[in-house]
């Protein structure tokens, strides 16, 4: 799981080394290479029957695929609009958004500790961006943050769809759903990616992201889920934020502002405290 988070975290620093590819073209190439990679990996991992499961997956699998496509597209767009740290910390509020969505649509009760953590994380987000309001680049930074916010929102809907499908006796295999998401993202961003500006160097880096940053860790995470408990995976997944910030700092010279570090610490601290308290209560 630690290796998975390290692979996830390379997106920011790799994106910073692109020469010409920008915006939707970046998203298209990564989704396209993720699709190609999964078309090879999934039959090896789950057998050729995986394609039959996709064809007969039903509405919940396709809804999950749409959610994945939104996550793929918004994540890469956000990285081209704002800092790696802004994107990662904004995505980190995913568990809290998921709790709220699950409360509204499937009636999951939110513990008091989670409400407190949501409040602390909200303060952290406001702290991160409040000091940037007067800066000239604040509009671009804010837009990038709002796009990044689509990732945890889509993830929350995705999780709720999975829970709802299980309640209806339809178990979604999330790995084929990722393939569906990559296909949708590729098709939707292809017309927006023209005219192509990516150099062979860019295409090589984006192929690396499609295979190493998304396809392989996606399959490995399914293996980890068979062994690790959900709270353990949630806590370990936070390492992506730490790794991503350090890689962007060291590999791309992207030094985070003090306010962003402070606000990010509040968000991550709220997440860790909430997960640890929940773990202890379940134990």
Q: Where are the domains of the chain?
A: 2-282
- The pLDDT assigned to 160 comes to 83
Residue with more model confidence, 61 or 186: 186
Q: pLDDT tens digit string along 105-133?
A: 777 777 888 888 888 877 887 777 665 54
- The pLDDT assigned to 140 comes to 66
- The pLDDT assigned to 213 comes to 94
Q: pLDDT tens digit string along 195-209?
A: 899 999 999 999 999
Alpha-carbon gap, residue 31 to 49, rounded angstroms: 23
Tokens of 65: 């695929």
Q: Nearest-CA neighbor of 19 among 254, 172, 202, 208?
A: 202
pTM, two decimals, is 0.83
pLDDT over 80 at 283, yes or no: no
Alpha-carbon gap, residue 137 to 84, rounded angstroms: 15
pLDDT over 80 at 175, yes or no: no
pLDDT over 80 at 173, yes or no: no
- The pLDDT assigned to 133 comes to 47
- Please enumerate in sequence order all residues whose Cβ is within 8 A of that of 31, keeping only pairs 6 or more positions apart, or say none: 69, 72, 73, 182, 185, 186, 189, 210
Q: Nearest-CA neighbor of 65 among 209, 191, 179?
A: 179
Band (pLDDT 50/70/90 cuts) for residue 49 is confident
- The pLDDT assigned to 35 comes to 94
- The pLDDT assigned to 47 comes to 79
Arithmetic mean of pLDDT, 176-186: 91
Band (pLDDT 50/70/90 cuts) for residue 139 is low
Q: Are 252 and 14 in contact (CB under 8 A)?
A: no
pLDDT over 70 at 138, yes or no: no
Arithmetic mean of pLDDT, 239-267: 83
Integer distance in angstroms from the first to the last C-alpha of the chain? 22
State the chain's mean pLDDT as an integer: 84
Residue with more model confidence, 223 or 134: 223
Which residue's structure tokens are 């513990």? 111
Q: Are 125 and 263 in contact (CB under 8 A)?
A: yes
- The pLDDT assigned to 115 comes to 83
Residue with more model confidence, 265 or 74: 74
Arithmetic mean of pLDDT, 44-67: 82
């Amino acid at each position: 799981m630690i290796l998975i988070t390290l692979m996830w975290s390379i997106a920011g620093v790799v994106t910073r080394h692109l020469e010409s590819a920008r915006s939707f073209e970046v998203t298209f190439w990564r989704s396209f290479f993720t699709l190609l990679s999964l078309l090879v990996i999934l039959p090896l991992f789950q057998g050729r029957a995986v394609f039959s499961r996709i064809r007969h997956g039903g509405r919940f699998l396709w809804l999950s695929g749409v959610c994945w496509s939104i996550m793929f597209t918004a994540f890469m767009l956000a990285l081209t609009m704002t800092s790696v740290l802004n994107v990662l910390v904004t995505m980190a509020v995913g568990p809290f958004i998921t709790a709220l969505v699950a409360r509204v649509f499937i009636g999951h009760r939110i513990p008091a500790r989670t409400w407190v953590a949501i409040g602390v994380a909200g303060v952290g987000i406001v702290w991160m961006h409040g000091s940037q309001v007067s800066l000239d680049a604040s509009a671009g930074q804010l837009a990038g943050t709002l796009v990044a916010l689509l990732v945890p929102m889509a993830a929350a809907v995705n999780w709720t769809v999975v829970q709802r499908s299980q309640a209806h006796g339809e178990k979604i295999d999330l790995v084929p759903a990722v393939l569906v998401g990559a296909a949708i993202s590729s098709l939707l961003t292809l017309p927006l990616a023209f005219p192509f500006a990516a150099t062979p160097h860019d295409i090589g880096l984006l192929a690396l992201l499609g295979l190493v940053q998304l396809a392989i860790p996606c399959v490995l995470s399914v293996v980890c889920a068979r062994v690790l408990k959900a709270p353990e995976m949630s806590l370990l997944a936070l390492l992506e934020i730490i790794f991503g910030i350090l890689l962007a700092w060291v590999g791309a010279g992207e030094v985070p502002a003090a306010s962003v570090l402070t606000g990010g610490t509040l968000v991550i601290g709220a997440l860790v405290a909430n997960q640890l308290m929940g773990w202890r209560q379940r134990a």
